[in-house]
Amino acid sequence: MATVAERAVGAIVGAAVADAAAQPLHWIYNLKKLDSIIASEEAPEFHQPSANPYYRIDTGRNSCYGDQAYVVLESLAECQGLDIADLKQRTYRMFGPGTDYDNTRNSEYKPHGGVKKSYPINGSWRHFSIKDFLKKTEAGKDDTGSKEDDQVDGATKVAPLVALYAGQPCMLEKVEDALRVTQNSDTAVAAGLTTARILEQYILYGKKDRVIETVMEEMRKPNRKNPTDLDQAMVSFLQKVLDNRGGQHRKVVTTVFSNN
Residue 11, pLDDT above cutoff 90: yes
Distance between CA atoms of 192 and 95, rounded to whole angstroms? Answer: 21
* Residue 158 or 111, more confident: 158
Residues of each annotated binding site: 63
Q: Is 183 helix (H, G, I), strand (E, B) or coil?
A: strand
pTM tops 0.75: yes
Q: Is 122 helix (H, G, I), strand (E, B) or coil?
A: strand
> How high is the pLDDT of residue 132?
97
Q: How does residue 259 score in pLDDT terms, banded at 50, 70 and 90?
A: low
Average pLDDT score over residue span 11-23: 98
Residue 123, pLDDT above cutoff 60: yes
> How high is the pLDDT of residue 181?
98
* Residue 85 or 116, more confident: 85
Residue 116, pLDDT above cutoff 90: no
Distance between CA atoms of 127 and 151, rounded to whole angstroms? Answer: 9
Find the helix or strand (DSSP H, E) in which 160 lies.
helix 159-165
**177: exposed, middle or buried (C-beta count within 10 Å: 0-12, 13-18, 19+)?**
middle
Domain segments of the chain as ranges: 4-209
Residue 260, pLDDT above cutoff 60: no
Residue 10, pLDDT above cutoff 70: yes
Is residue 83 within 8 Å of residue 175, measured between CB atoms?
no
Q: Is the dihedral of CA 19, 21, 22, 25 positive or negative?
A: positive
> How high is the pLDDT of residue 111?
75
Average pLDDT score over residue span 165-169: 98
pLDDT more than 90, % of the chain: 87
> How high is the pLDDT of residue 2?
87
Distance between CA atoms of 52 and 149, rounded to whole angstroms? Answer: 22
> How high is the pLDDT of residue 193?
98
Asked which of 11-25, 36-50, 137-151, 231-245 is least confident by mean pLDDT, the reply is 36-50
pLDDT in tens, 56-95: 999 999 999 999 999 999 999 999 999 999 999 999 999 9
Q: How does residue 17 score in pLDDT terms, banded at 50, 70 and 90?
A: very high
Distance between CA atoms of 12 and 16, rounded to whole angstroms? Answer: 6
Distance between CA atoms of 133 and 127, rounded to whole angstroms? Answer: 10
Asked which of 33-47, 60-74, 159-173 is least confident by mean pLDDT, the reply is 33-47
Q: Is 202 helix (H, G, I), strand (E, B) or coil?
A: helix
Average pLDDT score over residue span 130-136: 98
Q: What is 4-209's CATH topology?
A: ADP-ribosylglycohydrolase fold (1.10.4080)
> How high is the pLDDT of residue 1?
64
Residues of each annotated binding site for Mg(2+): 63
pLDDT more than 70, % of the chain: 99
Mean pLDDT of the chain: 95
